[in-house]
Amino acid sequence: MPGANNYPRKDLKDIQVKAKRPPKDMEETPEVPKAVTLPGDIWQIGSHRVICGDSTNQDTIQKQLFEGRTTSLVFTSPPYDNQRSYKIGSINWTDLMKGIINAIPAEEITQVLINLGQVHREHEWQPYWTDWLQWIADPERADRWRRFGLYIWDQGTGLPGDWNGRFAPSFEFLFHFNRKERRPNKIVRCTSAGDAVPIDKKGGLREKDGIQGSKWSHAGTKVQEWRIPDNLVRINRQATSGLERGHPAVFPIGLPEFIIKAYSEPGDIVYEPFAGSGTTLIAAENTGRVCYASELAPEYVDIICRRYMRMFPNGAKPTLTGHGDFFDVANGRGIEVPDDAALYRVGTGTKRREEINTLEAFL
Ligand SMILES: C[S@@+](CC[C@H](N)C(=O)[O-])C[C@H]1O[C@@H](n2cnc3c(N)ncnc32)[C@H](O)[C@@H]1O
C-alpha cells in the first residue's frame, strides 16, 4: 500500500497539492457499476486463479482456491489497522490477520512476507500490530511462525506537503515469517561484478578480536555477478494510472516482483490473500510464477480481470468454469463492461500529474 494512502484524512487534508477540479455544478456523481463477479466465483486466468471470497475462511482458500495444493510464498499488503474504507465494511484487524495466517496452505518451506505501513492517530503512530505479532510467534502455539526478518521498503523521495510536523513518509515495513529458512535468490547485480578483489584487501566482517578481514575476506577472488538483496528494499512508489486507480491502495508492481524473484522459483505458486487490484498477480505473470489470489470485494475482482486483460492483451482471458470468459459471463449476467482503453491512454499528463490525481482521490 503506497505511503500517502496510509494517513488518516486529518493528516491528508494538509497536503498542499492542488489538483484541478471541475466546477461544482459540472461534477457528476459517477454511477458505481455493478460487478460482473459474484461472491464465490473463481476466475481461471491462464494458470493463475482468483477467488472472490474471504481469505480467513480455510475452506475457501485451501479447498476451493488451492484444491489441496500448497504455496511456497505468501506476499501481501493487508489493510493497515482499521483505517481504510474498502468495499468490505469494518474489520477487527487482529482477528482478520489471525484468520488469514491460519488459512495459509503452507508447506514446510513457505515464506510469508507482509507489507505494513504506519498509522497515526491522536498525534501518535499506532503499534496496531503488537497483539498480532505476539500471537503469530507465540511459543505456546505448535503452529507458530517465526518472526524471521524485518525489512524496510524504501519508497523513494517523500511526497511534498505538510505532514503535521513529521517528516514526509517514504518507507513502510516488510515483515518476514517462516518455519524454516529458504536461501533468497541472488537477484541484485553487483556494481563491480567480475572485478578482482585486490589481494591485500582487508574487507569483510570483523572477527572476535576486532580485526577486519582474514577468514571472511574475499581478497584475490572475483566480485560475484549477483548478490542477495539487502534488507532495505528500494522500490519507488508508483503513480496509479490504469484500471488500478479504481482501488485505493495499490502497491507498485516492482515490489511483489522483487519479493517473488527473491523467494520463489519459476512455476511456484505465490499466494496473495488481499489481492486488491491484482498487482501481485501481474508480478507473478511477469516473473513466470503462478498466482493464487483471493479478494473479498467483487468490484475489485472485476478490476483484477480487466487489468490483466489490458496489460496482457495476448494472454489468457479470465474464465469461469462452465460460464465462459469474462465477457460471456458479463453478458449472461446482464452487466455492461466499461471500455477501459481510455484509462490506459497517456494524455498530456506526466507521472507527476498522475500522482496528484491519486492523492486527490483521498482528499
Ligand atoms: C491494501 S489492499 C491490497 C492492495 C493490493 N496490494 C494492490 O496493489 O492492489 C487490501 C485488500 O484486501 C481486501 N480484503 C480485506 N479483507 C479481506 C478478506 N477477509 N479476504 C479477502 N480480501 C480482503 C480489501 O477489499 C482490499 O482490496
Place of cell 482478520: 96
* Cell matching residue 197: 578483489
pLDDT at 116 exceeding the cut of 70: yes
- Give the global pTM: 0.82
What is the number of residues in the chain?
363
Yes or no: say if 322 and 259 are a contact pair by the CB < 8 Å rule. no
Q: What is the CA(271)–ligand 1 centre distance, in A?
A: 13
**Cβ(1) to ligand 1 under 6 A?**
yes
Ligand 1 atom nearest the C-alpha of 100 is: 19
What confidence score (pLDDT) does residue 196 get? Answer: 76
| Ligand 1 probe mutation, 295, 303, 311, most atoms within 8 A of CB | 295
Q: In terms of Cα–Cα distance, which of 340, 361, 334, 249 is closest to 297?
A: 249
Q: At 31, which helix (H) or strand (E)?
A: none
| Stronger pLDDT, 49 or 238, i.e. the higher one | 49
pLDDT at 281 exceeding the cut of 50: yes
Q: What is the CA(76)–ligand 1 centre distance, in A?
A: 9
Q: What is the pLDDT of residues 35-61, one digit of tens each?
A: 999 999 999 999 999 999 999 999 999
Res. 18 pLDDT band, cuts 50 70 90:
very low
**Cβ(243) to ligand 1 under 6 A?**
no
Res. 16 pLDDT band, cuts 50 70 90:
very low
Q: What is the CA(17)–ligand 1 centre distance, in A?
A: 27
Task: Tell me the domain boundaries of the chain.
Answer: 3-22+34-181+229-360, 188-227
What confidence score (pLDDT) does residue 144 get? Answer: 98
**Cβ(83) to ligand 1 under 6 A?**
no
Q: Compute the mean pLDDT over every residue in the chain, rounded to the nearest whole number.
A: 83
pLDDT at 213 exceeding the cut of 80: no
What confidence score (pLDDT) does residue 355 get? Answer: 32
What confidence score (pLDDT) does residue 24 get? Answer: 39
Yes or no: say if 65 and 292 are a contact pair by the CB < 8 Å rule. yes
Place of cell 503512530: 125
Q: Which fold has domain 3-22+34-181+229-360?
A: Rossmann fold (3.40.50)
**Cβ(105) to ligand 1 under 6 A?**
no
Name 121's bridge partners.
124
| Stronger pLDDT, 358 or 227, i.e. the higher one | 227
Res. 250 pLDDT band, cuts 50 70 90:
confident
pLDDT at 148 exceeding the cut of 80: yes
Ligand 1 atom nearest the C-alpha of 276 is: 27
| Stronger pLDDT, 83 or 124, i.e. the higher one | 124
**Cβ(79) to ligand 1 under 6 A?**
yes
Place of cell 491528508: 12
Q: What region, left, alpha or beta, does residue 322 occupy, with left being phi > 0 and alpha being psi -120 to 50 degrees? A: left
Q: What is the pLDDT of residues 185-195, one digit of tens each?
A: 999 999 877 77
Q: What is the CA(275)–ligand 1 centre distance, in A?
A: 5
Range 64-83 average pLDDT? 93
Q: What is the CA(99)–ligand 1 centre distance, in A?
A: 14
pLDDT at 214 exceeding the cut of 60: no
